[in-house]
Amino acid sequence: MQKYFLGFVGFLFGIVTYAQTQTIDQKVDSLLQKMTLEEKIGQLNQYTSDWHQTGPITINPNKQADIINGQIGSMLNVMGANYTRQYQELAMQSRLKIPLLFGLDVIHGYKTTFPIPLAEAASWDLPAIELSARVAATEAAASGIHWTFAPMVDIARDPRWGRVMEGAGEDTYLGSKIAYARVKGFQGDGLGNLNSVMACAKHFAAYGAAVGGRDYNSVDMSERMLLETYLPPFKAAVDAGAATFMNSFNDINGIPATGNAYIQRDILKGKWNFQGFVLSDWGSIGEMVTHGYAKDPKDAAYLAITAGSDVDMESNAYRYNLAQLVQENKISVTLIDDAVRRILRKKFELGLFEDPYRYADPTRQQEVLFNPEHAKIAREVAAKSVVLLKNEKQILPLSKDLKTIAFIGPMVKLKRANHGFWAIDLKEIDSSYIVSQWEGLQNKVGKNTKLLYAKGCDIESTDKSGFAQAIKVAKKADVVIVSIGERYNMSGEAKSRSNIGIPGVQEDLLKELKKTGKPVVVLINAGRPLVFNWTADNMSTIVYTWWLGSEAGNAIADVLYGDYNPSGKLPMTFPRDEGQIPIYYNHFNTGRPPKDEQDKINVSAYLDLPSSPKYHFGFGLSYTTFQYSDLKISQSQMQTDGSIDVEMKLTNTGEYAGAEVVQLYIKDIVGSVVRPILELKDFQKVNLAPGETQTLHFKIDKEKLSFFNQRLEWTTEPGAFELMIGASSADIRLRANFELTN
């Protein structure tokens, strides 16, 4: 009975939901009928505010008049309840009073900042990642923002590319899961809720594969790689309900993404049936002229709108050319209507036609932005993002009885830098809420521990005059903690580096501190995998702290003292040398793989380097140890539509409670196209008390075994597979073989 009742309720709910969509569509249609062509084109035009610019500066003294004249549909870089209200008031003076959308790069937090996205990916903790996006959305929405230009879901296999900091790393499976979690986090219970913002999956597509890791550079890749490796996180974003997409600056095999009908019309709006709208990247429509793909801005406008780019961010190509293109019958007005419809639908869903100011409430803004719960969440997520790379002498966790600690290095007392790149500079809020690493340690140590400080050197200069003081301070301490790395804005947009070493004389400082014979803990702050072979080989204790956000100091102290046992695992491979790049774990075997690290005879290897990376994808240590055992698979033959249950035991064999990320990889032994040496297909993050054992279950099904065949069909092929479960892509603890049959 209950089942029927629920069925009936579901049916009614379906009718109501259908009726609501109908209503929005009808409202959109009737509004569209009232709009002039100019007003329609206005909806496709997006400008930045003048006081915060995130791209090449554009000057437009008539912005305010343009809003009143209905020539702007959305703005970026306007934030705060008061400012957004002021702009919205201008839109309310326009003939049809169509509200503006306010978009902003809320990439890893708004006021409260979270670890940079690559660091968060190292947590492999999907609920935590979703929660961090949730908090960011709540704060941004209370500040009048309707729309974040996030998540960036670009797969990145080249750490020279500065924007690796903004994504989830190199792996498609992990990246797709994280893309899904972030979209869900930003959009919460759905558009229209006052704590949700529209997500924007970017940069569509393949932006992370820029040749040479140089930002904005061309991308040349096979269609199979595009479909199999680079697009799935975008599909996951669509599945999670992402309201919008942003395209990318790069060309893909010669066709700029912004003018690329194959990816935007055929795949995104066609095959994936994406109902939201697509935004260009900053000026990317106009830049098609510079690419040499469009002959002038008018041609660029034609190519972009035809290819499915709905909104023009900052290039003015739509504003000044679309009307003429319609009048000349080069494009039909239905093409424009489709784009406008997509945008208006979102404005209705956000409830802006009912109340254009509903997100701009200074009282709510004050309450939400200073909610202490947000800082608590940021601290937890930050601790989860830290990766312990080395703890050879078990210096960590630090003893609570230490008398004197020397905290040394150019990062120790920095404040804003802990935000990392892509943090929003909230001008009206001072930075006192950001916890520096120094403050974090101070908060942690008891009265009986003395903290000493020396800067030692700058991040980049060659000046060693601070070394003497650092050595003096180190000699007085029981333990030395050294915080070094790259400047927070050495990773980010347009921040490609050809040399990704630790800048300046920071490693020289380490060499001197090591000579004191004191136990030294090295903290490495960075927005990307760095190359630091001397440190890796000579220092006993290394913690990768990335940029952890406004609670960085507290979170680092939590990890150092074992109040949080590190559980992060690298979401990108760390090379030994820039010459190995691009480097990623799920490569092909080639016909001549080296037998071992030293094998150089007629094999695919570099003469001057071992054949492995410095740190492998999925690697990360804990203060405890885990044992993997008792692997059982339900059958060794699987029919295409069947499945295999996988069972194993995980035991915490050490002395500390801790979390392990158990990673499941698969290798398809023979394929009609070559398959990677292993591919991540599942993982679980498990918390265990010392001595505790837990039985874990995984399921292998068709989806995990599928790939794009020679005809680019998503399919499975019968044959042998290897199943591998381990603590990293190079630390496989359990193996089994099975066969897929027809």
Q: Smallest distance from the beta carbon of 133 to ligand BGC, in angstroms?
A: 16
The CB density around residue 388, as the number of other CB atoms within 10 Å, is 21
Please report where in the chains the tokens 């990642």 appear, as a residue.
129
Q: Does 217 bind ligand BGC (CB under 6 A)?
A: no
Nearest approach in angstroms of CB 208 to ligand BGC is: 12
Our finding on whether 282 is near ligand BGC (CB under 6 A) is yes
What character string, x for contact with ligand BGC (CB under 6 A) and - otherwise, covers 229-268?
----------------------------------------
Instruction: Answer yes or no whether residue 105 interacts with ligand BGC by CB under 6 A.
Output: yes
Binding to ligand BGC by CB under 6 A, coded x per residue (else -) over 409-438, reads: ------------------------------
703 with 604: CB under 8 angstroms? no
Q: Name the strand (E) or helix (H) holding 553.
A: helix 552-560
Q: Residues 37, 55, 357, 478: which binds ligand BGC (CB under 6 A)?
A: 55
CB atoms closer than 10 angstroms to residue 36: 12
Burial (CB count within 10 angstroms: exposed 0-12, middle 13-18, buried 19+), residue 86: middle
Q: Please tell me the distance from the alpha carbon of residue 74 to that of residue 493, in angstroms, as a whole number.
A: 23
Both tokens assigned to 144 = 């009048």
- As a whole number of angstroms, the distance between CA 101 and CA 77 comes to 11
39 near ligand BGC, rule: CB under 6 A: no
Q: Which tokens in the block code for residue 671? A: 């394929």
Under rule CB under 6 A, residue 215 binds ligand BGC:
no
Site map for ligand BGC, 491-510, x if CB under 6 A? --x-----------------
Q: What does each C-alpha distance from 204 to 73, 247, 263 come to in angstroms?
A: 22, 4, 8
Give 57 or 607: the residue with its C-beta nearer to ligand BGC. Answer: 57
Determine the size of the site formed for ligand BGC (CB under 6 A).
Answer: 9
By Cβ distance, which residue is nearest to ligand BGC? 54
Q: Which is nearer to ligand BGC, 207 or 619 (CB)?
A: 207
DSSP code of 356?
A: T
> Smallest distance, Å, CB 104 to ligand BGC?
8
Q: In which element (H, E) is residue 7 found?
A: helix 2-34
Query: Residues 533-572: x/- map of binding to ligand BGC (CB under 6 A)?
Result: ----------------------------------------
Q: Using the rule CB under 6 A, which residue among 49, 54, 69, 469 binds ligand BGC?
A: 54
* HSE toward the beta carbon, residue 109, CA cutoff 13 A: 30
Rg (the chain; Cα; Å):
27
Cβ atoms within 10 Å, residue 233: 28
Shortest distance, position 284 Cβ to ligand BGC, whole Å: 8
The CA-atom distances, in angstroms, between 189 and each of 193, 207, 367, 731 are 7, 30, 21, 39
For residue 647 the two structure tokens come to 């069972």
Instruction: Give the x/- contact pattern for ligand BGC in 125-164, rule: CB under 6 A.
Output: ------------------------x---------------
Residue 315 vs 535, nearer CB to ligand BGC? 315
Based on CB atoms, which residue is closest to ligand BGC, 43 or 148? 148
Residue 511 CA to residue 517 CA, distance in Å, equals: 11
Query: What percent helix, strand, coil does the chain show, rounded to 5?
Result: 35, 20, 45
Least distance to ligand BGC, CB of residue 149, Å: 4
Q: Could you say which of 215, 281, 310, 558 is catalytic?
A: 281
Site for ligand BGC (CB under 6 A): which residue of 202, 298, 487, 667?
A: 202
154 is catalytic: no
Burial (CB count <10 Å: 0-12, 13-18, 19+), residue 266: middle
Shortest Å, Cβ 418 to ligand BGC: 21
Name the residues that contact ligand BGC, by CB under 6 A: 54-55, 76, 105, 149, 202, 281-282, 493
Q: Any idea which residues carry the catalytic annotation? A: 281
